[in-house]
Amino acid sequence: MSSHQFPPPAPTTRREFLRLSTCGAGLLAFGRFAPTFLVNSARAAAPAPEKDRSILVLVQLAGGNDGLNTLVPFEDPDYYRLRPTIGIPADRVLRISDTLGFHPSCGALQGLFRDGRLAVVENVGYPNPNRSHFRSMEIWETASGSSDFVQTGWVGRYLDSACGGIPTDSHDPLAVHANTPNGEPPTLVGARQHPTFGLAAAGTRRGGSEESRRILERDSPEGHTDDNVGFLRQTLMDTLVTEVRVQKLLDGYRPNGAYPSNPFAASLRSVAGLIAGGLPTRVYFVTLGGFDTHVDQAPTQARLLTVLSEGLAAFQGDLRAKGLDGQVLTMTFSEFGRRPGENESKGTDHGTAAPLFVLGSRVKGGLLGSAPRLNLPRNQDLSFSTDFRSVYGTVLDRWLGCRSKTVLGADFPSLPFV
Amino acid sequence: MNLSLSAPEAWDPLPTGAWDDAAARHLLRRATWAAGPAEVGRAVSEGLPATLDRLFPAAPSAWPKPPLVAALENDMPAFRQQAAQASDAVKRLLRREEVERSQVAVRDMGVRWMELAAVPENSAFEKWVLFLSGVYVVATEKVKNAAFVYRHFEILAQGALASAPSLAKAVSRSPAMEVYLDLVENRAHAPNENFARELFELFLLGEGNYTEDDIKDAARAFTGYRLQPGTGRFVFAPRQHDDGEKTVFGHTGRFTGDDIIELAYRQRAAGAHLPKRMAAFYLSDIPLPADFLLGIGDRWRGEGNLELRWLVRTFFGSRLFFAPEFRGNFIKSPVQLYLGLVQDLGLKVVPVPRLVLNPLRQMGQTPFDPPNVRGWVGGRAWINSASLAARREVVERLFAPFDADTLTADEVREVDLVRVGEAASFSVPDGFLEPWATLEPEAVVARLSEEFLAIPPEAAFLDGLRQFLKTGARYPTEHKRRLRRAMMTVFESPEYQVC
C-alpha cells in the first residue's frame, strides 16, 4: 500500500480532467426500461467489435436474494428443519450435484451449468456482516471492509486505474446507466469523474430542439469545474453527443433469438446491442430488484428467478450466435442472503452470505467454494466461506487485466473460475 | 468543502444586515420552488423572521380529501363484504378492481398535491411535507391502498411542525406504514424486524447508533399493532403484543412501541439525525461535519424541546443556511424543477395525471412513491443523461401550446373544471413574452439570467444566445419565435438545474 494512494486522488487540472474523461475504458449501466430517445440524425457507422476485448456485465439482485432457496442443499435435513414451509422439496430441485440443486425456476441456468459455462461460487459474504440493505449494498459496491467507509465504487476505482495515460478524443460514453432506482450505481463512482450515460425510461422523448442543442453544446474551459455545476455541464455535453450514437446502435440491433418480454431482459438486449455495436465499454451494470422477501417469499422469488434465469440465457445465446460470447463475463451479486430460518410470515429476514453466479463461454464452469453449515439455532445467520473481494479480485486480475490490489487495497485469494 | 463558519456560531440567527435580495432569493429557491421578483421584494421588506412565519404558518391550509379517495373509502366495507361471500374467482376479480381503483386514486392524488404545492402560499409547507415523506417513507407499490397513502400524508401534514416524538408515534400507527414495513405481520411469538430496523436506521437515529439486539427487542415492543378489517383503522391487539421485558439502549423494561420511540429520542444521535436529513434535502449533497449536526441536535433536544417548528425556524434562519458556500450549487429535485418552472412561468399545473406524473417519473421522482425505504438520495444521483433529457422535455412541453385534443373524456372534464373556475393556463402564452419582445438581445439575455438563474452561465452560452436573438430580429414573428426558443434554452441549461 506504500507505492500508491488508496483511493487515488482526484484530478487537479483541466488537462488531466479531459484526459481522464475521454480515456479508453468505458462503462455502461442499465436499469429496468428500454431506451426510447428519438434520434433522427445519427450518421456514424458502428465499427467492427474488437476481437480480444474482455467485458464485464454486473447483474445486481437488489433487495437481498435468498441464497438457500436459489442453491438448495436438498440432502441436508437441517435445511428442511429451518424451512418447514418454504423449503423446496428435493423432488422439485434442479440437481447440479449429489447434494445441491437450483430453484425450480432456474432451468435455463441449469442448462448453462451442464454446458460448463456457469460457475457457482457458494456462500459468498464478508466478515462482520451488516444487515442494513443500504450499508451492506454500500459494502459490496465499494468493496470496503465492514467497518470502513469508502466514497468510491470498486468499478469506479478500476476505471480510475485503467484510464491512466490513455488519451483519446472520443466522445463515446465511458459510464452509461439507465433507470437504476437511484441513478448512477455507486459501484461506478470513481475518485475521478467518468462520464456516465443512462438510457431513458420507456416513453421518454429526447428533449430540446436542434436550435437549443446547438446553443447548449459548448465546450469552454470555465465549464470544467468539479462542483455540481461543472458536473451538470459536463454531463449535458457528453449526453448530447452520446445520445445520437447509442440510439443509432440500438435502433439497428437485430438480436439472434428472442428475449423474454420483461424490462430486465430488454436491458440485457440493449447491452448485447451496444457490445455488438463495438462501443469501447468494458463494464455494464444491470439491476433486477424486488428480492426483499420478508412475507410470502415463494411466488415472488420464483418469478424473479425465472426472469433472471431466462434473461441471462437469452443474453448468452444471443452473444454466442454473434460470436461475441468470448468477450463477455456476466456476474450476479446481491447485498446479502437471507436468514436460514424462515420467519412466521412465510418469508425470510435479512441475512448474510449467499451464492453468486459467474457466466461466460470463457468461464470455467462448476461449483466453487464451500457450502454453509446449517446446523444452526433458529435465528442464527450463515458464516461466509468466500470473501466477495476474492471474486472481484479474480475478475480484475484474470478478466479485466488490472492489478486487483490497486482497486481493492489488498490481495485476496483468487478463484479458478477464469 | 471549506465551511466559513465554526460549529458553535453556525446555527446563530442570520444578522439583520445580511438579509438582502440575494439572501431572500436563496431562501425562496431552497425552502420553496422559485424566487419570483414579487416574492423576493415582499420577503426583503418583511424581514427574515416574518417571512419564516409566513412560509411555515401556524395553521397551514388543509388538503381536502381527494374525491376518488373518499369514494374508495366509502365503497370499501361493502366491497369487502361482497368479496367475503364470493367464490375464489370472483374474489380475485374484486381484489383486482380494488387495486386498480386504488392506483387511479393515487395518481389523481399525486396531481392534486402538485396543484396544491404550486400555490406560492403553500409551497414551503408542502415542500416540508415532501421532505418528511422522504424520511417516513411508504411506497404505494406495496401499500396498494390509496386511502392508506392519503391518511399517511395527512398524518405527516398534521404533525409536520409539532413535536417530533409525537409524529414518530403517529407514523407507527399509520396504516400505510403498518403495511409497508410489515408491522401487521409482527406477532408476539414471531417478531418481524422490518419496522424496528428502519425506525432506528432511517427514521430516528441513523446507522451505527444501535445494535442488532436493540432491533430484536424493539421489534418485540411493536407487536400487536393491527389494522381493523374493513375500515383499516389502527387498533392495538393486546393478545398479539409481547408484554415481556425488553432491553433497548441499555434500558430494561416491559416497553411498548411508544416507549421505544421515547427511548430513541433520548439518544444524542436522534437530535442530529433529522437535521442531517434536512441538510441533505435543503442545503448540500456534501454531508455537514458531525459537530455541526450535534450542535443543532443538542439545542433541539434542549431548548427546542424536539419541536419541529423550532427546528425549521432555526435551520432556515441560521447563518449557516445563508453561508456563501451553500449558494447556487444545489441540484434541483425533479419536483422542484417542475414546480419551479410552473412558478417562474406563471402557469398552473395541468390537472391530468398522465401529463404531470409521467415526466416526473422519467426525471426520477414520483411524489408519494420513493424508490425504496431510504427515500430519494438526491444531489448528483438525480442527474444522468436520461434524466437530463427528461428535464429538457418538460420545458419543451410547458412552452408548446396545450393540445386538449389529445385528452381522454375524463381528462377533459378535469381540465374544464379548472379552466372555468380559474382561467388557468397550462403552457406559456404569447402574452408572457410581450414584455421581453421590446428589449434588445443584450438586455434579454441579462434579464433572463438575473431572474431565473441562481448562478451566472458561461460566457460562451450567453454569446450563443445573443447571436441567436440577433438573427432575424427585424422580423417580429421570427423574433418572437426566437425569443421563445432562447427562453426555453435557458430553462434547459445546466445552470437552471441548480438553486
Query: A328-334 and A100-102 as β-strands: parallel, antiparallel, unpaired?
Result: unpaired
Among candidates B189, B212, B385 on the partner chain, residue whose Cβ is nearest the Cβ of A198: B385
Burial class (CB within 10 angstroms; exposed 0-12, middle 13-18, buried 19+) of B300:
buried
B344 within some domain: no
Contact A200, A36 (CB under 8 A): yes
**SS3 for A254-286, per residue?**
CCCCCCCCCHHHHHHHHHHHHHHCCCCEEEEEE
Cβ-defined contact of A133 to B498 (cutoff 8 Å): no
Instruction: Report the alpha-carbon distance of residue B198 to residue B372 in Å, rounded.
Output: 11
Cβ-defined contact of A228 to B460 (cutoff 8 Å): no
Cα nearest neighbour of B384 on chain A: A198
CA-wise closest residue to B222 among B249, B252, B183, B169: B183
Cβ-defined contact of B494 to A233 (cutoff 8 Å): yes
User: So what's the pLDDT on residue A222?
Assistant: 62
Q: Which chain A residues are within 8 Å of B187, Cβ to Cβ?
A: 344
Cα of A152 to nearest chain B Cα, Å = 14
pLDDT, one tens digit per residue, over B307-360 is 999 999 999 999 999 999 999 999 999 999 999 999 999 999 998 888 899 889
A81 within some domain: yes
Cβ-defined contact of B330 to A223 (cutoff 8 Å): no
Which of B213, B384, B461, B488 is the best mutation test for A, with the most CBs of A within 10 A?
B384
Among candidates B212, B371, B383 on the partner chain, residue whose Cβ is nearest the Cβ of A235: B383
Instruction: Report the alpha-carbon distance of residue A186 to residue A409 in Å, rounded.
Output: 18
Cβ-defined contact of B380 to A183 (cutoff 8 Å): yes
User: So what's the pLDDT on residue A198?
Assistant: 63
At which residue does the C-alpha cell 411508544 appear?
B258
Kindly report the number of other CB atoms within 10 A of residue A398's CB atom: 17
Cβ-defined contact of A197 to B371 (cutoff 8 Å): no
Single out the residue in B326, B350, B383 at which a domain terminates: B326
- Beta-carbon contacts of B413 under 8 Å, excluding residues fewer than 6 positions away, are none
B148 within some domain: no
Cβ-defined contact of A232 to B331 (cutoff 8 Å): yes
Cβ-defined contact of B392 to A207 (cutoff 8 Å): yes
Instruction: Report the alpha-carbon distance of residue A259 to residue A255 in Å, rounded.
Output: 8
B226 within some domain: no
Which residue type does B221 have?
A: A
A219 within some domain: yes
A413 within some domain: no
Cα of B40 to nearest chain A Cα, Å = 24
Which residue type does A228 have?
A: N
Cα of A97 to nearest chain B Cα, Å = 35
Contact A269, A66 (CB under 8 A): no
Contact B392, A208 (CB under 8 A): yes
Residue B110 has pLDDT above 50, yes or no: yes
Say how many Å lie between the first and final Cα of chain B, rounded.
17
Q: DSSP string covering A310-352, please?
A: HHHHHHHHHHHHTT-GGGEEEEEEES--B-SS--TTSS--B-S
Among candidates A204, A232, A343 on the partner chain, residue whose Cβ is nearest the Cβ of B498: A232
pLDDT, one tens digit per residue, over B126-152 is 999 999 999 999 988 788 899 999 999
- Beta-carbon contacts of B278 under 8 Å, excluding residues fewer than 6 positions away, are B131, B311, B315
Q: Buried b / exposed e across A208-232, counting CB within 10 Å, b at 16+?
A: beeebbebbebeeeebbeeebbbbb
Cα of A122 to nearest chain B Cα, Å = 26
Cβ-defined contact of A207 to B394 (cutoff 8 Å): yes
Cα nearest neighbour of B359 on chain A: A204
Among candidates B285, B384, B389 on the partner chain, residue whose Cβ is nearest the Cβ of A196: B384
Cβ-defined contact of A131 to B373 (cutoff 8 Å): no
Question: At CA A14, angle to CA A13 and CA A20, rounded to 5?
Answer: 90
Which residues face A102 on adjacent strands? A71, A94
- Residues of chain A with confidence (pLDDT) below 50: 1-50, 164-170, 201-207
A71 within some domain: yes
Cβ-defined contact of B383 to A177 (cutoff 8 Å): no
Q: Which chain A residues are within 8 Å of B201, Cβ to Cβ?
A: 132, 134
Instruction: Report the alpha-carbon distance of residue B78 to residue A37 in Å, rounded.
Output: 46
Domain that includes residue A166, residue range: 14-408
Cβ-defined contact of B494 to A239 (cutoff 8 Å): no
Provide the grid cell at B360.
416526473
Cβ-defined contact of B197 to A131 (cutoff 8 Å): yes
Q: How far is CA A143 from CA A188, A331, A395, B47, in A?
A: 12, 15, 13, 50
Cα nearest neighbour of B468 on chain A: A215
Among candidates B192, B358, B385 on the partner chain, residue whose Cβ is nearest the Cβ of A343: B192
CA pseudo-torsion sign B39, B42, B45, B48? negative
The DSSP letter of residue B203 is: I
CA-wise closest residue to B488 among B398, B426, B357: B398
Which residue has better confidence, B172 or B473?
Answer: B172
Cα nearest neighbour of A130 on chain B: B212
Cα of B126 to nearest chain A Cα, Å = 23
Cα of A95 to nearest chain B Cα, Å = 33
Please tell me the total number of residues recorded for chain A in this structure: 418
Cβ-defined contact of B458 to A196 (cutoff 8 Å): no
Give CA torsion, residues A403, A406, A408, A410, to 10 deg. 90
Complex prediction ipTM? 0.90
Query: A366-368 and A118-125 as β-strands: parallel, antiparallel, unpaired?
Result: parallel
Q: Which chain A residues are within 8 Å of B361, Cβ to Cβ?
A: 201
Which of B341, B376, B385 is the best mutation test for A, with the most CBs of A within 10 A?
B385
Q: Which chain A residues are within 8 Å of B488, Cβ to Cβ?
A: 208, 212
B5 within some domain: no
Cβ-defined contact of B190 to A228 (cutoff 8 Å): no
Q: Which chain B residues are within 8 Å of A197, Cβ to Cβ?
A: 384-385
A274 within some domain: yes
Cα of B129 to nearest chain A Cα, Å = 21
Q: DSSP string covering A283-311, please?
A: EEEEEEE----SSSHHHHHHHHHHHHHHH
Instruction: Report the alpha-carbon distance of residue B146 to residue B103 in Å, rounded.
Output: 7
Instruction: Report the alpha-carbon distance of residue A55 to residue A53 in Å, rounded.
Output: 6
User: So what's the pLDDT on residue A108?
Assistant: 97
Which residue type does B13 have?
A: P
Q: Which chain A residues are within 8 Å of B489, Cβ to Cβ?
A: 208, 211-212, 215-216
User: So what's the pLDDT on residue B143?
Assistant: 87
CA pseudo-torsion sign B36, B38, B44, B47? negative
Cβ-defined contact of A345 to B190 (cutoff 8 Å): yes
Total domains in the fold of chain A: 1
User: So what's the pLDDT on residue A34?
Assistant: 24
Cα of B64 to nearest chain A Cα, Å = 31
Query: A118-125 and A354-359 as β-strands: parallel, antiparallel, unpaired?
Result: antiparallel
CA-wise closest residue to A97 among A375, A365, A414: A365
Domain that includes residue B439, residue range: 430-497
CA-wise closest residue to A124 among A351, A364, A391, A393: A391
User: So what's the pLDDT on residue B424?
Assistant: 58
CATH number at residue A306: 3.40.720
Instruction: Report the alpha-carbon distance of residue A142 to residue A140 in Å, rounded.
Output: 6
Q: DSSP string covering B61-104, please?
A: PP-PPPHHHHHHHHHHHHHHHHHHHS-HHHHHHHHHHHHHHHHH
User: So what's the pLDDT on residue A238?
Assistant: 77
At which residue does the C-alpha cell 429476514 appear?
A349
Q: Which chain A residues are within 8 Å of B486, Cβ to Cβ?
A: 215
B354 within some domain: no
Cα nearest neighbour of B375 on chain A: A182
Kindly report the number of other CB atoms within 10 A of residue A19's CB atom: 18
Instruction: Report the alpha-carbon distance of residue B463 to residue B452 in Å, rounded.
Output: 18
Cα nearest neighbour of A196 on chain B: B384
Instruction: Report the alpha-carbon distance of residue A189 to residue A141 in Å, rounded.
Output: 9
Cβ-defined contact of B384 to A242 (cutoff 8 Å): no
Instruction: Report the alpha-carbon distance of residue A118 to residue A132 in Å, rounded.
Output: 30
Which of A132, A184, A214, A270 is the best mutation test for B, with the most CBs of B within 10 A?
A132
B484 within some domain: yes
Total domains in the fold of chain B: 2
Which residue type does A113 have?
A: F
B462 within some domain: yes
pLDDT, one tens digit per residue, over B407-416 is 777 777 777 7
The DSSP letter of residue B325 is: G
User: So what's the pLDDT on residue A29?
Assistant: 43
CA pseudo-torsion sign A223, A226, A228, A234? positive
- Beta-carbon contacts of B497 under 8 Å, excluding residues fewer than 6 positions away, are A232, B331, B332, B337, B383, B388, B391
B121 within some domain: no
Cα of A127 to nearest chain B Cα, Å = 16
Cβ-defined contact of A229 to B494 (cutoff 8 Å): yes
A414 within some domain: no
Cα of B186 to nearest chain A Cα, Å = 9
